[in-house]
Amino acid sequence: MSATNNAQILGPLTNSDEKSANVQREHLPCDEDPEALELKKREEALRRKLDCYVAPVMMMLMLISYLDRGNIGFAATQGMTKDIELKGSELNTAVSVFYIFYILAEFPTSILVKRLQFNRVIPTITLSWGLVCLCMGFVQNFAGLVTTRIFLGFFEGCLFPSMTLFLCNWYTREELGIRIAYLFIASALSGAFGGLIAFGILYMNGVGGWPGWRWLYVLEGIITILWAACCIFLVPKSFETAYFLNEEEKQLMRQRAARTQAYSDSEGSGHYGKADIKEAAKDTKSWLHVVYAIGAYLSDRHQTRFLPLVLTAPFGIAGYAILLSPASPGTQYFATYLIATACFLCTGGNITWLSANCAPDGKRAASLGILLTLTNIGGVVSGQIYQSNAAPRYTLGHAWSLSCLAVAWCAWWLVRSLYRRRETEKDYRIAEGYVRPEDRIYTDREPDFRYQTNKKLSIHQTIHPSQTPQRHLIPKPSSLFVHTTQPSANSSQANLL
């Protein structure tokens, strides 16, 4: 389909389309357009700055949160179980109750966080769980341990939705995948360094008459409280108040935000309503993504979320299969690397895929709340299927995890099929002369919103930052209709993918 044919489908341009004049001129390849090259350089510089000032703060929060939730395991091996007289499965109960309240906190946080403002919510959440972690150093019995784990689960459950939506406000959906991956890199680092940190702190056993496990809770709690104080200054309310952006960079951020303004609340108020929750709850893809919560450089680079998921999950399936087999200890140790690769990549990719394919903001927040709430049920289950009396084989736990990964792998194919069917329906509506209504907030079900499946965004299909969605211009994240009066030599590059 030529660019001229595209113009015939979309109808004649009106005066309102003058705002998009930059994309209506005769098409030039991006590498031959000086203005586009300059824009690309400015965007790359802005992304680098965001990666220096925004992403590291969120990564540090993720790292600390995983350290604080996981320190119960180190404490248990260093005498906590005996000191507070835990019996039977009480330790497993304390582990599981954390995830129950983690789950309960995630969905309401997803809805409320933007209304309450990120610069207030994130430091408050961090301070709260830091105080709880500090208090865990003073527990004397099972009741005290469970109580502190309940509060720790609730406050940490508020964190991840807040961080995810915070990143959505700073990065475009094409850039989001690797930034979500940064969070899971941080959680992986907590596993790598958490043991070393705990090992060092536990050497304080006997200092001040305290066992080492109490010092572990107290010192890690103090670290969290100090970082909460730092977040007061490091987490801006929005890019308009960001201390690290100059006026030119703020203007570029405004242009980036304008591209998706039609799919956001018009005031930017964050006042989500029941309609947003209902829209997310009745959308099949919000629930299909729940099956398992990849993404990194290649996912963003090639604008594909599906392929990294289905290619990575088999590594985890193979890893669990090895753990269930009578393999040598060395082989089973190698299997844990396969499992870690799949779990961290697939979790981030699944969240990114859903985030990129939901609009407006309210629906995205509600969908993420549904996803994060239901996926963390796994934390409750894991405390029961990985019982200490099943060591060292943990047959039930490994078999359950293998099954979940296998079902997730099948579900991702179903999700892609759903997206493609919806894309086909949208193409028919566009061909029939679809005109976007102007009296309502648009959702991802509009024909001009294109889902990220496994199609790459061409360098020739970049949307100019001054373009905002118009009545007759129907931009597509994976392609762009270009209006010309004469078919150009590059008109084939403006066709639908």
Contact (CB, 8 A) for 65 and 157: no
Note whether residue 7 is domain-resident.
Answer: no
Note whether residue 28 is domain-resident.
Answer: no
Q: Is 216 helix (H, G, I), strand (E, B) or coil?
A: helix
Residue 382 lies in domain: 51-264+272-418
Number of residues that make up the chain: 497
CA distance 107 to 341: 27
Read off the amino acid at residue 142. F
Q: What is the CATH number of the domain that holds 104?
A: 1.20.1250.20
Is pTM, for the whole model, over 0.75? no
The confidence score (pLDDT) of residue 6 equals: 42
CA distance 480 to 34: 19
Contact (CB, 8 A) for 107 and 370: yes
The confidence score (pLDDT) of residue 34 equals: 79
Note whether residue 76 is domain-resident.
Answer: yes
End-to-end CA distance of the chain: 10
Tokens standing for 313?
């999950």
Whole-number Cα distances in Å, 198 to 74, 117, 204? 7, 34, 10
Identify whether 29 is preceded by a cis peptide bond (ω within 30 of 0). no
- Nearest C-alpha neighbor of 440 from the set 312, 267, 266: 266
CA distance 140 to 138: 6
DSSP 69-80: HHHHHHHHHTTH
Note whether residue 30 is domain-resident.
Answer: no
Mean pLDDT per segment of 10 residues, for the chain of length 497 residues? Answer: 41 41 40 74 90 93 91 88 88 88 85 81 94 94 94 92 88 80 81 80 85 93 96 91 91 82 48 56 49 42 69 89 89 86 77 77 74 74 76 86 90 88 86 76 77 52 37 35 33 30
Note whether residue 170 is domain-resident.
Answer: yes
Note whether residue 72 is domain-resident.
Answer: yes
Contact (CB, 8 A) for 109 and 376: no
Note whether residue 483 is domain-resident.
Answer: no
Tokens standing for 19?
């705002």
- Nearest C-alpha neighbor of 353 from the set 364, 361, 369: 364
Note whether residue 478 is domain-resident.
Answer: no
CA distance 89 to 142: 11
The confidence score (pLDDT) of residue 50 equals: 92
- Domains of the chain: total: 1
Q: Is 476 helix (H, G, I), strand (E, B) or coil?
A: strand
